[in-house]
Amino acid sequence: MEQKTNQRIAKISGHLYPSNSQIMEDSSEVMMRANCRAKGGAPGFKVAILGAAGGIGQPLAMLMKMNPLVSVLHLYDVVNSPGVTADISHMDTGAVRGFLGQPQLESALTGMDLVIIPAGVPRKPGMTRDDLFKINAGIVKTLCEGIAKSCPRAIVNLISNPVNSTVPIAAEVFKKAGIYDPKRLLGVTMLDVVRANTFVAEVLGLDPREVDVPVVGGHAGVTILPLLSQVKPPSSFTQQEIEYLTDRIQNGGTEVVEAKAGTGSATLSMAYAAVKFADACLRGLRGDANVVECSFVSSQVTELPFFATKVRLGRSGAEEVFQLGPLNEYERIGLEKAKKELAESIQKGVSFIKK
């Protein structure tokens, strides 16, 4: 009876740490820890979240655990991942495993189809994205080195800010490792699109789920350029509305940071947006047709090496990068402002690796 009880305990705790057959010492015997797997070999994709115990990572992990396209979910962080994994594992959906600390990064990444990276420090009041860069650049570099080694063919969704610089950092790491495929490296700018859809819907009096606003450029301040002239359904705005909407979309993150009064940043809406984009990537991997979303990717749309535009997602990642389409005068002026700042941010990321 005691042996059966110990075996059950081993199975229950098996999701907490990675192993093929990790040995646990008991005072009376040695027990083999079982991996927690989806019952019946459920079809789907293997997804890893790096930074799963953070403010974005926890709600992101919960929402990804609910996605029927995910059969195995790996949760990695340098702190607190066992607790998050234990909590998430009680949800009656596919398998989840937790990984803690740098020594377990390789195990967390091996065999993954999609890797989502929200790791890093969050924005605080008064903190610029440049301040974030100094901390998050090193984190992204380390994690991408792990990806290059353990799952070089995975699609990578990079959330860690400042995305305008961290995506170029990831690209340089992958180039050094000889595994760079620009189609598989996707900067997540979906939160800008989600905000644009929401704010435009408020002005138009529509359901935000019926609104589609292309948001191009980058993922910080004036580099965020909503193309209100291309809104679907087709709509017209006064100049005052255009300026109000553009400013609010560009500064949506600051709005949340200030509203939370020092207690956090836009973690919940970011997790929602990240899951929406990850789901699009998984549908692309499955072979669904016409999966189109905005993303910050390697691009020839402008003279810059990276730029956010609509992309068509497929089995190999961003299989098609769409052009900007017709812009009005206000958007053309905004584009030039965006490109100037974006060029500096991109170079900053490249220089971080090449220095």
Q: Which CATH code of 3.30.1490.20, 3.20.20.100, 3.40.50.720, 3.90.1170.50 fits the domain covering 42-188?
A: 3.40.50.720
In which residue ranges of the chain is CATH 3.90.110.10 found? Answer: 189-354
Tens digits of per-residue pLDDT, 201-229?
999 999 999 999 999 999 999 999 999 99
What confidence tier does 128 reach under pLDDT thresholds 50, 70, 90? confident
Secondary structure percentages of the chain, helix, strand, coil, to 5:
45, 20, 35
Mean pLDDT for 121-141 is: 82
Tens digits of per-residue pLDDT, 72-120?
999 999 999 999 999 999 999 989 999 999 999 999 999 999 999 999 9
Q: Which residues are annotated as a binding site?
A: 51-57, 77, 123, 129, 136, 159-161, 195, 270
CA-CA distance, 73 to 44, in Å (whole number)?
Answer: 10
What confidence tier does 40 reach under pLDDT thresholds 50, 70, 90? very low
Tens digits of per-residue pLDDT, 146-183?
999 999 999 999 999 999 999 999 999 999 999 999 99
In which residue ranges of the chain is CATH 3.40.50.720 found? Answer: 42-188
Token pair listed for 92 = 């009656």
| Mean of the per-residue pLDDT values of the chain | 90
Catalytically active residues, by annotation: 219
224-226 vs 215-217, strand pairing mode: antiparallel
Token pair listed for 253 = 């993150």
Global pTM value: 0.89
Does residue 275 surpass a pLDDT of 60? yes
Mean pLDDT for 233-243 is: 98
The CATH T-level fold of domain 189-354 is L-2-Hydroxyisocaproate Dehydrogenase; Chain A, domain 2 (3.90.110)
Does residue 13 surpass a pLDDT of 90? no
Whole-number pLDDT of residue 36? 36
Using CA atoms, how far residue 145 sits from 6, 120, 292, 310, in Å, is 38, 16, 29, 28
Q: What are phi and psi of 319, to 5 degrees?
A: -80, -20
CA-CA distance, 330 to 324, in Å (whole number)?
Answer: 14
Determine the Cα angle at 24 with ends 22 and 30, to 5°: 110
